[in-house]
């Protein structure tokens, strides 16, 4: 009998093969490609060759406007996660295609071993790191090299501290930002790395994507692209010191409008990622 838990990862993507390719590479290595479940949003999409060995499906397009579509998307993924528990999975990870949950390399264990050691009642969160691009120092993001050898600066924030890992059927809120009706718990030494706004060229391409603009993503993209500005202009702080502070702060602080989401007093903290992370993604 295996000492490790049976863990699946699922996502839904649309026009996002660049990050999805890295998603398959990373989670396939950590969990096994046969445990990855990918849903392409829209029958005008085609499954990439890099999905070979995974469970990849084309689904009819969910919604046309970002807010309503996102609610329906997470309802759909919550239902698919529930089905995976029926199939015998112990844990299900739900993340976007540009999000990668990693264990601090100082522990010397992979994601599957780390999560297998955790006592998870309903859900588990990792501390969110939103990566930017330091213009003038970092060039365009490429799949030819590891992401963490190309990007070194991230904002510690509450937006990406998500209860992405669940141990029983439940309902994720939009963007995986909360599990409805349940509190969240942030694991020590576990991080969610978000790369969706870590490259100026990719952002420019997204703003030129008529499909995204039609769905109402333009304002959202402009707002989130500020991470590039912060990475370029602000001084990066010590990673270990400030992630320790953030984990404590987010554990105990809550916004008044959502008790099951983390808060951090609107602090903007940029950190430089330690060299020990370089080869992990």
- Looking at the predicted structure, is the pLDDT value of residue 147 above 90? yes
Residue ranges of alpha helices (H) inside the chain are 17-31, 66-86, 111-117, 200-207, 210-215, 218-224, 226-233, 239-252
Q: Which long-range contacts (CB under 8 A, 24 or more apart) does 251-258 make?
A: 251/185, 251/186, 258/178
Q: What is the pLDDT of residue 209?
A: 60
Report residue 114 as tokens: 């780390």
- The pLDDT, as a whole number, for residue 256 is 81
Over residues 44-61, the pLDDT tens digits come to 999 999 999 999 999 988
Local confidence band at 257 (pLDDT 50, 70, 90 cut-offs): confident
Three-state DSSP class for 31?
helix
Of residues 57, 43, 48, 59, the one with CA closest to residue 24: 48
All domains in the chain, ordered by first residue: 7-277 (3.90.550)
Q: Which residues fall within 8 angstroms of residue 83, CB to CB, at 6 or more apart?
A: none
110-144 pLDDT per residue, tens = 999 999 999 999 999 999 999 999 999 999 999 99
Inform me whether the pLDDT recorded for 162 exceeds 80. yes
Distance (Å, rounded) from C-alpha 101 to C-alpha 61? 27
Mean pLDDT, range 240-266, rounded to an integer = 91
H helix or E strand, kind and range, residue 124: strand 123-131
For range 164-169, the mean pLDDT: 98
Predicted local confidence at residue 221, as pLDDT: 59
Provide the phi-psi class of 205: left if phi over 0, else alpha when psi is between -120 and 50, else beta. alpha
Q: 1 pLDDT exceeds 50? A: no
Out of 35-49, 63-77, 110-124, pick the least confident.
Answer: 63-77
Lowest mean pLDDT among 55-64, 113-122, 148-157, 266-275: 55-64
- What confidence tens digit (pLDDT) does each residue in 87-107 have? 999 999 999 999 999 999 999
Q: How confident is the model at residue 265 (pLDDT cuts 50, 70, 90)?
A: confident
- Res 215 pLDDT > 70: no
3-state secondary structure of 56: strand
CA 184 – CA 47 distance, rounded (Å)? 34
- Say which residues have a Cβ less than 8 Å from residue 175's Cβ, sequence separation at least 6: 70, 74, 96, 162
**Averaged pLDDT of the chain:** 91
One DSSP character per residue, 204-225 reads HHHHT-HHHHHHT-HHHHHHHT
User: Residue 210 pLDDT > 90, yes or no?
Assistant: no
pLDDT score, position 216 = 52
pLDDT-derived band of residue 67, with 50, 70 and 90 as boundaries?
A: low
Least confident stretch, 3-12, 165-174, 237-246, 256-265: 256-265
d(CA 99, CA 192): 6
Measured between alpha carbons, how far is residue 191 from residues 101, 149, 173, 244 in Å?
A: 6, 17, 20, 12
pTM across the whole model:
0.93
Tell me the average pLDDT across 15-44: 96
Q: Which of residues 149 and 255 earns the better pLDDT score?
A: 149
pLDDT at residue 74 greater than cutoff 80: yes
Q: What is the pLDDT of residue 260?
A: 87
């Amino acid at each position: 009998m295996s000492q490790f838990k049976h863990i699946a990862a699922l996502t839904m993507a649309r026009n996002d093969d660049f990050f999805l390719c890295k998603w398959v590479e990373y989670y396939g290595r950590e969990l096994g490609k046969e445990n990855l479940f990918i849903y392409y949003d829209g029958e005008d999409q085609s499954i990439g060759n890099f999905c070979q060995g995974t469970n990849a499906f084309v689904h009819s397009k969910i919604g046309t406007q970002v807010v309503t579509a996102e609610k329906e998307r997470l309802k759909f993924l919550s239902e698919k996660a529930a089905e995976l528990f029926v199939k015998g999975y112990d844990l299900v990870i739900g993340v976007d295609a540009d999000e990668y949950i990693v264990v601090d390399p100082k522990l010397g264990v992979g994601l599957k071993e780390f999560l297998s050691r955790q006592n998870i009642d309903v859900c588990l969160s990792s501390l969110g790191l939103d990566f930017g691009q330091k213009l003038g120092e970092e060039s365009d993001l490429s799949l030819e090299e590891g992401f963490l050898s190309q990007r070194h600066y991230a904002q510690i924030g509450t937006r990406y501290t998500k209860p992405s890992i669940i141990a029983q059927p439940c309902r994720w809120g939009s963007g995986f930002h909360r599990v409805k009706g349940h509190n969240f718990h942030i694991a020590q030494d576990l991080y969610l790395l978000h790369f969706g706004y870590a490259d100026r060229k990719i952002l420019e391409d997204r703003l030129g994507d008529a499909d995204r603009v039609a769905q109402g993503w333009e304002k959202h993209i402009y707002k989130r692209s500020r991470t590039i500005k912060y990475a370029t202009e602000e001084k990066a702080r010590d990673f270990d010191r400030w992630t320790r502070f953030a984990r404590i702060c987010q554990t105990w602080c809550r916004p008044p409008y959502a008790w099951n989401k983390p808060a951090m007093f609107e602090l903007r903290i940029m950190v430089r990622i330690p060299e020990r992370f370089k080869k992990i993604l």
